[in-house]
Chains A and B, each alone.
Chain A
Amino acid sequence: MEKPMIELAGIKKIYYVGGQEVAALAGIDLNIKQGEFAALMGPSGSGKSTLMNILGCLDRPTCGSYKLDGQEVANLTDDELAVVRNKRIGFVFQNFNLLSRISAADNVALPLIYAGVGKNERKERARKVLDAVGLGDRADHQPNELSGGQRQRVAIARALVNDPHIIMADEPTGNLDTKSTKEIMEIFEGLHREGRTIILVTHEPEIAACASRQLLVRDGLITQDAGKGVKMDVV
C-alpha cells in the first residue's frame, strides 16, 4: 500500500472569540494520496477554508498531527514552512491575488525569486508556463488589462512555475463566468491527468463533480467522503 502524501490526524483549530472557544476544526482525520483530485465542499463557516490554510501550511493547527510526505509539519520552523509553500505547494485563490503593478510574466515568476532562481531562467520558465495555460501572448500585460478568466490562468501559471506536487485552489472559479469556469476546470483536469495532486475548495456541486474524490465539511468535521460523480448533500 502506497503511503499517503497528506496525513491528518485529530486536527483541531480553536479560536477564542470574546473569551469563548470556537472550534473551526473539531478533529479532522484525512489521508490524501498522491495524484488524487479532491474537492472540499461545505457551506460557508463549515471550516473548509481553515482546513485549506492548514493543508497549505499558511496556518498551524491548535493540535493534531499533519504529515506532508511523511514529515511532521508542526516540527518545521516558519522559514521551513515558507520553503514548503514555495516549492511543494502551488496556490490558486478566488480573487486571483496577483500583484497589480507588475506584468503577468513577473507575477508568474514571483515564487522563483524566493526559490533563488536567476533572472534569465525565471523569465524563460514564466513564459513556458504562461504558454502552457494559453496566455503566452499576454505575458507583458498587467493584471488589470486581463479578463477574470485570464487572470485566474495567470494565477494557475504562478502556482505551477515551481513545479509543485500539490495544487491548492480556494474557490478558483468563484469570481468567474460560466465560460471561464469551464476553461479553468479543464486546466485543473489536465493537471490531474499529469499526475499532480489537486485539492480544491468549492461550494458548487458541478465543480466538485469534476474531482475524483469529494469531501463534505460541516461544523469542523468531515461528514461525507465519496468518489467521483456521487451527488453530495451540501445544504
Chain B
Amino acid sequence: MGMFMESVEIALHALFANKLRSILTMLGIIIGVGAVIAMIAVGMGVSQKVTSSIASLGSNMLIVRPGAATTGGVRGSAGSRKTLKYEDAQAIKKKIKDAQYVSPVVSSSFQIVNGNQNWNTQVQGVTPEYLQIRDLSVSNGSFITENDLATRNRVAVIGTTVSENLFGEENPVGHVIRVKNQPYRVIGVLESKGQSSTGQDQDDTVIVPLTTAMDRLLGITYVNMINVQVVSQEKMDEVQSNIETLLRQRHHLVGDKENDFQVQNLTSLMATLNETTTMLTLFLGSIAAISLIVGGIGIMNIMMVSVTERTREIGIRKALGATFKNIMTQFLIESVVIGVIGGLIGVAFGIGVALAISKFGGFQTVITIGPILMSFSFSVGIGLFFGIYPARKAALLDPIEALRYE
C-alpha cells in the first residue's frame, strides 16, 4: 500500500511537471465523460417529458374512435365514420363496471366573437366527466353540468388563451360570446395547462355541452370519440375487450364483420414511446461513448510519447533498483490518474452542460447517478486499458539501452 501511494505521488508529480500536456490529454476524457452525461440527461429529459405529457392526458385511458369510412372503395381516415353515438357512451358508462369515467367528445373549429374581437379556435362539446378525465380544473366560475346537457344550454367554458384574446384583462365570466352567430354565456375559465407534448396550446379551447354542440352548432348525431378512464391499470385489457364486445353488439356487427370503431390503449402507446425514447437515450449515449474511447486513444498516444521521452529516467530508476513491476505501476498509475482526474472534471462538466441546457435551452434534462458512475468508471477503465501497452513498453526497457538514450 505504501508503495502504491508512492507511485501515485510520482505519477501526480510527473503530470504536474507537464501541466499543459496533461490537461490536453485529459480534455479527450473530459469531453467524452461530459458528453455521455449531458446526452443521457437530454435523452432522459425527452423520455420524461413524453411520459408526463401522456400522463397528463389522464392515466389508464382508453380512446374509442369510429372506424374509417369507405366510400366507393376509397378508405377515409380513422374516425371518419359516423357510427359512434352519444348513446354508445351512455351504454359504456352503464354496463361496463370498471369504466370509471366516460366522456364522449365532438369538436370543430369556429370563429368566436366578443364585440369587435374575434378568435378562431377549436370548440369541443363534452360532458361534465371531461373535467375528471382530462384532469382539468376551473379557475374561475363553474363547469358544464348535467342540467346544461339535458337542456342544451348555450353556455361555454373557455381556456385562458381564448380569454386573453377576446377579453384581455377583463373577467369573462358572465359575458356573452358568439359562436356561429349564436350567443353563448361564459360560465367559467379553465386553469392554464400550457403546451402539450406536441406543442399544442392546451389553453386555446372553448368547451360547450355535448348536446348543444351536436344539435345547435354542428347538427350531427354522432360523436368524434369517447374517452374512457379505467379504474386501474390491470383492468385495461379487460375493459377494452368488454367495450369492443358491447359496441359490436350495439352496432349489430355479427360474425366476422369488421369493427366500425377502434379502441386505443394509451398505456400501450406510452410503452411504445418509452421504448423509442430509451433507444434515443442509448443512441445519444453511445455516440458520446465513442468520443470517450477516442479520448482513451489520446491517453495512449501521449503515454507512448512520455515513455520515449523519459527513457533515460526509466534507465536511471532501473539502475537504482526499480523492478519491472515498479516501472509498470508508475506509468500505469499515471494514465489511470489522467482517467480519474479527467473523469471527475468530465462529470462536473457534463452536469454543468445538462443544467445549462435546462436553464437556457428551455429543455428539461434529467441527471441521474447511473450514467455518472458508469461514465466515470469507464474513463478510469480507459485510462487503465490504454495505459497498459505504454507502461509495459517502459517496464521492458533494457536498463543499459535506456541509460545510453539521449
A interface residues with partner B (beta carbon < 8 Å):
53, 56, 58-59, 78-79, 82-83, 85-87, 91, 93, 97-99, 101-102, 110-111, 113-116, 118, 158, 162
Contact = CB atoms under 8 A, between A and B. Distances in A.
B313 A79 contact: no
List 3 A-B pairs, minimum CB-CB distance, nearest first.
A86-B321, A114-B321, A82-B323
A162 B319 CA distance: 13
Contact of B316 (A99, A101, A113, A116): A99
B326 interface: yes
Contact of A85 (B6, B312, B321, B403): B321
A182 B321 CA distance: 29
A114 B399 CA distance: 15
Contacts of B323: 78-79, 82-83, 114
A97 B17 contact: no
Contacts of B315: 97
B3 to A, nearest CB: 7
A114 B326 contact: yes
Contact of A110 (B320, B325, B400): B320
B65 interface: no
Given A99-B316, A113-B6, A53 B322 contact: no
Contact of B13 (A91, A93, A101): A101
A120 to B, nearest CB: 12
B361 interface: no
Given A101-B17, A114-B323, A58 B316 contact: no
Contacts of A58: 318-319, 399-400, 403
A97 B314 CA distance: 11
A232 B6 CA distance: 48
B2 interface: yes
A91 B319 contact: yes
B324 interface: yes
A70 B317 CA distance: 26
A129 B243 CA distance: 96
Nearest to A56: B319
B65 to A, nearest CB: 77
Contacts of A87: 321
Given A58-B400, A116-B2, A79 B321 contact: no
Contacts of A98: 316
B185 to A, nearest CB: 87
B387 to A, nearest CB: 20
Interface size class of B (residues with CB under 8 A): 20 to 34
Nearest to B320: A111
A86 B13 contact: no
Interface of chain B: mostly helix, strand, loop or mixed: helix
A33 B361 CA distance: 81
Interface of B: 2-3, 6, 13-14, 17, 312-313, 315-326, 399-400, 403
A97 B319 contact: yes
B400 A99 contact: no
A64 B316 CA distance: 27
Contacts of A86: 320-321
A53 B316 contact: no
A53 B400 contact: yes
A114 B320 contact: yes
Nearest to A114: B321
Contacts of A83: 321, 323
Contact of B320 (A91, A101, A116): A91
Contacts of B312: 97
Nearest to A158: B320
B400 A85 contact: no
6 contacts: A85-B320, A99-B316, A102-B13, A111-B320, A158-B320, A162-B321
Nearest to A84: B321
Given A58-B403, A97-B316, A110-B320, 9 more contacts: A53-B400, A82-B321, A85-B318, A85-B319, A87-B321, A91-B319, A102-B13, A115-B321, A118-B2
Contacts of B313: 99
B224 to A, nearest CB: 79
Contacts of B17: 101
A82 B6 CA distance: 18
Contacts of A93: 403
B320 A59 contact: no
B45 to A, nearest CB: 47
B324 A114 contact: no
Contacts of B325: 79
A107 to B, nearest CB: 9
A144 B335 CA distance: 28
Contacts of B320: 85-86, 91, 110-111, 114, 158
Nearest to A161: B320
Contacts of B2: 116, 118
B33 to A, nearest CB: 29
A99 B400 CA distance: 16
Nearest to B18: A101
A79 B400 CA distance: 16
Contacts of A162: 321
Contacts of A99: 313, 316
A93 B315 CA distance: 12
